[in-house]
Chains A and B, each alone.
Chain A
Amino acid sequence: MMCRSGQQPDQPDSCDHQHSGGEATATAAFAALLEDSAEELYESAPCGYLSTLMDGTVAKINATLLDWLGLAREAVVGRMRFSDLLTVGGRLYHETHFAPLLQMQGSINGIALDLRHADGDRIPVLASSVVKYGSMGKPLLIRTTLFDARDRRAYEEELLRRRAVAEEARRQAEADRARLQDALAVLQRSLLPDTLPVVPGLDTAAYYHTASPDELGGDFYDIFPVDGKRFAFFLGDVCGKGPQAAALTSLTRYTLRAAALHEPDPRSTLTTLNKVLHERYAAGGDPRYCTAIFGILEIDETTDQVFVQLASGGHPPVLILRADGTAEYLPTPGGLLIGVLPEARFTAATTTLSPGDTLLLYTDGLTEARTGTDRSSLYGEDALLDFGTRHAGAPAHDLVQALTALLDGFGDGLDDDTALLALGVPARPAARPTTRSRP
């Protein structure tokens, strides 16, 4: 407390002498012990003290504050107003917010202001003020305490700066992630045909189940013309996942396409692919391989029958659904994984599809899906054969739709990518004139 009477009228800043004599003695004893006095405390307190008239004129200021400001007492007391001690910004804030609030409330607490040092430096402070009123309730003067907020302000600025840095990093990470997902989606589309080409005399349908949206899948399929009469098709599964699997998928797809155009024979095509993959990966000590079924379709326009030659390299056998309501696998045992050995043997098979028949190619995501309440058993080839028998005679599109529902039903038991490709010969319309028997 300030205990020196000031020059102000009504002696506003004089001390209250309300303590009992005993307390005063004890206080004095402590002060003596500390070699401190109220006067000393006021002048050298670790904060700035300031008393001003109601118009802001400085009536009293402590040494601490004068030291902060780099000003002499004579230059300040009675000559400057509180707002003169502030920076331009501080002054503005004082006039528009601080002073009006103080007048209204009689006190104000912990407001951030900037003092201006004599040499122009900015000194951030936290200001608290109270209005002292006379006995008639008339405001007499304003007492203000200022705390040095340089460290605190620096700390806050550091926090803000760090938050801005973190914010920027987060924004950047989100942008990167979005860009990566866009790139992944574009790549994934480049590994699978957007739409299957129209094959005259054949219905085609495909489906791709992605196990993880963040990873490029490892399954692939395609169908494309090789000459005026024949179409080639393939479906397969590369080992692994992610960018390396995608690179392998890409090499596999383009090799199959080029090889098929060069020599449209299933076994030779797979042999070419085997050489390419083995040379590219296994020969360098990094074995990467795929399983695939590659086939050639030849459509007989007079009978509507489709002659199919295919070969398998380590891939599960295709399923044939017949128009008569039966289903069967077309076995291709012993075909080796493609890309593992420099010389590999592939197993060929042929079949003829008649109207109403459908050929189904799939990857082992389907047959290896885990089923049962504890997800301990595999869906398996027998169950798929039963499923095929139940859907025999259905058009390719309906079959793929039914299989999609089956895959959805596996829930989290389906943890691998799964590709489906169905090639069906449309059933003859029941009342088609050309098939009606002659009278």
Chain B
Amino acid sequence: MTPLKITVRDASTGPVWEINGALDYTTAPELREQLTTLTIRPGQRLVLDLAGMDFCDSSGITALITAHNHAQAAQADLALAAVPANTVRVLRMVGLDQVIPLYPDTDAATRP
């Protein structure tokens, strides 16, 4: 498995985090840890760009839910961009596609 690498940058809509590598049982705590440092204003949007995510298991899904909860707690939103097909399938299966907006890429997700 590839290790998790999170690259952080800012867009006009709010923070954009690029998730690279595997989001699984061993790496999900890193994303959760990173979320505790999240600074986001009400009305902003946290975008997780998953183009470079090559694996996501149920722990990864839990971490995405945690990200959603963090954003909601700050009266902000979470959006996912460039979600790999297999993860889209899982998100649809568990109904999360109706809770977290999915965008084809970060450009679309950060359009104000």
Interface residues of A (CB under 8 A from B): 239-240, 282, 285, 287-289, 291, 313-316, 333-337, 340-341, 344-345, 347
Contacts and interface: CB of A to CB of B under 8 A. Distances in A.
Contact of B65 (A289, A313, A345): A289
Interface of B: 58-59, 61-62, 65-66, 69, 92-96, 98-99
Contacts of B92: 333
Contact of A340 (B58, B65, B93): B65
Given A282-B69, A336-B99, A287 B94 contact: no
Contact of B99 (A285, A291, A333, A341): A341
B95 A314 contact: yes
Nearest to B66: A287
Given A285-B69, A314-B96, A334-B95, 18 more contacts: A239-B59, A239-B61, A239-B62, A240-B58, A282-B69, A289-B65, A314-B93, A314-B94, A314-B95, A315-B93, A333-B92, A334-B98, A335-B95, A336-B98, A336-B99, A337-B65, A337-B94, A337-B95
19 contacts: A239-B59, A239-B62, A240-B59, A282-B65, A285-B69, A287-B65, A287-B69, A288-B62, A291-B94, A314-B93, A314-B94, A315-B93, A336-B94, A336-B99, A337-B94, A340-B99, A344-B95, A345-B95, A345-B98
B65 A336 contact: no
Nearest to A340: B65
Main SS of chain B's interface residues? helix
Contacts of A288: 62
Nearest to A346: B95
Nearest to A317: B93
Contacts of B59: 239-240
A288 B59 CA distance: 10
Nearest to B73: A285
Q: By CB atoms of chain A within 10 A, which of B65, B98, B99 has the most?
A: B65
A336 B98 CA distance: 8
B69 A337 contact: no
Contact of B95 (A287, A316, A336): A336
Nearest to A368: B90
A287 B95 CA distance: 16
Nearest to B58: A239
Contacts of B94: 291, 314, 336-337
A316 B65 contact: no
Contacts of A316: 93
B48 to A, nearest CB: 16
Contacts of A289: 62, 65
Q: By CB atoms of chain A within 10 A, which of B58, B61, B92, B95 has the most?
A: B95
Contacts of A285: 69
A287 B62 contact: yes
B77 to A, nearest CB: 14
B65 to A, nearest CB: 5
A333 B94 CA distance: 8
The 6 closest A-B CB pairs, nearest first, are A314-B94, A336-B95, A337-B94, A239-B58, A287-B65, A334-B95
A220 B53 CA distance: 31
